[in-house]
Structure 1
Amino acid sequence: MDVQRYLSRIGFAGPAEAGLDALRSLHTRHLLSVPFENLTVHSGGRVQLHPPLLYDKIVNRRRGGFCYENNGLFSWLLQELGFQVTLLSGQVKSQKTGFYGPPFDHLILMVSLDGQRWLCDVGFGVPGFSAPLSLDTSGPQEQGHRVYRIRPDKEMFFLEWQREENSGADGDWAEIYKFTLEPRRWEDFLEMCQYHQSSPCSIFFCKSLCTVLKPGGRLTYIGRRLIRVVFPTEATELETTTRELKDEEIPGVLAEEFGVVLNSPLIPKDEAITPPPVMY
C-alpha cells in the first residue's frame, strides 16, 4: 500500500498519527470521497476480497465498493497508520421484513485507542454515521442533525438512530444493524460476499446503486433514479429531489456526480428483493 496515495485519494491533509482527531477526520473524509457502490456486480464483474485488488480499485481507479471492500481497505489503512483494528460481523435489519440478515452480512470495524473503543463504518448507505461512534456508552451520540446510540443487550450490540423527522427526547429509535465484539478475519466474510453478488434476497444483486456523503447532504443513484438529499438545518427542513434517468445518461451521471468510470457497460437494475427463507 502507498499510504500517501490513499490519503490523497480521500483528501486527508492532517497529521496521519494514530489519535482520535485523525481517526475522526479519516473516517469522515473517506465517506465524502469514496462512494458506497455495487456497480462491479452490474457491469459484468465480480468483487474479490483481496487487499491489493481493493487498493487498486478504490485508490488507483477511484472507485468505491460495498462494506467488505470499503471497510476492509479502510482497516488496512488504519493498521498501516498504527491503529489497533478489529474486524467485526454485523447483521443489517431489513426495513421490508423487520428481520436481520445472516451473520457476516456486514463488515464493520472496532478501533481501540487509549483505552477507549470506537465503532467505524465507511461501508454503509443512507443511515450511516459520519464519524466514529463510542462503544463505551449507550447514551445518545449526536452527529449534526442526526442522533445515534449503541444499545448493548448481553453479548449483542444494536446500532440505532432517530430518523430526521423523528429526532428529539421523545423520538423513537430505529435499529440499523446488530453485532458482537468477537474478532473476525477477512476469510470469514468470503461466503457472504459472494451471496450478496448472486442472491435475489440481497439488495446488491437486485439493485444497481451508488451513494456518497456530501457536505450538507447525500447523493444516491439507484436503478434509473438520481436522488439528492439536503440535510436539515435550524432554518430549513430535509429536502429530497429525485431525477429520472435514461439508460444512456447513467454513465455520464456516475462520472460527473460520483467520479466513477466503469470499464464495462452498466446494466441498470431496480428489482424487488425476495425475502430470505431464513429469518434472523
Structure 2
Amino acid sequence: MGAEGETVGTRYEDPPADPAGRPALVLVATPIGNLGDLSSRALAALRDADVVLCEDSRVTGGLLARQSIAATMIPLHDHNEAAQAPRLIERMKSGERFVLVSDAGTPLVSDPGYRLVRAAIEAGLTISAVPGPNAAVMALSLSGLPPHPFLFLGFLPPRGGPRAAELARLRGVERAGLAATLIFYEAPHRLAETLAAMAEALGADRPAAVARELTKRFEEVRRGTLGDLAAHYAVAEARGEICIVIGPAAEEEAAGAEELDARLRAAMAAGMSLRDAAASVAEATGLKRRDVYRRALEIGDVSPR
C-alpha cells in the first residue's frame, strides 16, 4: 500500500496448477475462534501435507476432523521444539512435506515454531506461509488507537515483580523516545492485576482498549484509559482470550541532567547507598546503569569501591 492507502503495484494471481517445487514447510494460520475464517488455501495445505505439526493434537485434531481431513500429527511445542527440529529437518530433506499450525492464529506469533523455521532456513529448505487470522492485528484494527507504528510484546511475565520490572523497562524506553502503540496478550485471570500494573507504570490516563473473544459470539472491545479499564476489570469478570492495546506515550524528552541529579540526590537522601540509588534511578528513567552510576559518583564526590 502507498501513502494514504493508495494501492501500488498490487497483482493477484491464480494458484499454480503444477504442484512441483512445493515448499518443505508451510506455516498455516488457523481460526482464532470463528471456523469460517479457515481459508481455502489453508485447507488445501492441510490436505496436501504429509505431516501436520501442532501445539496440541487434541485441538488441531478437532479442527481437522471438522473438515474431514485425516492427517498424521506431531506435537511441536516449547518443551520439545529444540529436540525435534533436527529430526524434522532431515525428514524434510528426504522429501516429506510439513505444515505447521498453532492452536489458533498465525504460527510463531507468541507460539512455537521459530527454532524450526530458523533450522529450515539454515538447511536451505523452501518455506512458505498461508496468511490468515491474527488476534493482535485484529485488536489493533478495532482499538481506535494509532495503527502505526505498533509494537507487539506478547505476554508479560505472570508474576508481579518481574512484570513490574518489565513495564518499568518499557517506560524507560518510551522516555528515551519510543512512540508506538503497544499490543499485549494476557490470560483472563490476570487481566485486572495486569491493567492495574500498566496504569501505575505507564500512566492511568493512557488511552487503551481490551479486546476479548475476537471473532466469536461474545466478541467485545472495551475502550478507555488504562485507569478506567483497570477499575472496570477489578470488579468485572473477564473470559476468553485477551488482547490489550495501549496508545503511544505523549511526546516527552529523556530524563535530563537536572532531573537525573534530582532523582539521585533524593534517593541518597532517603538513605540508599550510592550503588542502590544509581540502580533505582536507572530503572526508573531507562538510562544505562553505568552512566547513572558515573553521575552518582560525581554528585557523591567519591571513588568507586
Q: Same fold (TM over 0.5)?
A: no
User: Normalising by the residue count of structure 2, what TM-score does the alignment of the two structures yield?
Assistant: 0.23
